[in-house]
Amino acid sequence: QVQLVESGGGLVQPGGSLRLSCAARGSISSIRAMGWYRQAPGKQRELVATITSNGSTNYGDSVKGRFTISRDNAKTMVYMQMNSLKPEDTAVYYCTLGGSDRTYWGQGTQVTVSS
Question: What is the pLDDT, as a whole number, of residue 73?
Answer: 77
The whole-number pLDDT of residue 101 equals 85
Q: What pLDDT, on the 0 to 100 scale, is given for residue 100?
A: 83
In tens, the pLDDT along 18-77 reads 999 999 998 887 888 999 999 999 999 999 999 998 899 999 999 999 999 999 877 789
| pLDDT score, position 13 | 98
Q: Look at residue 74 in the predicted model and tell me its pLDDT.
A: 79
Q: Residue 32's closest CA among 106, 91, 80, 97?
A: 97
- How many Å apart are CA 85 and CA 38, to the nearest integer? 14
Mean pLDDT value across residues 101-113: 95
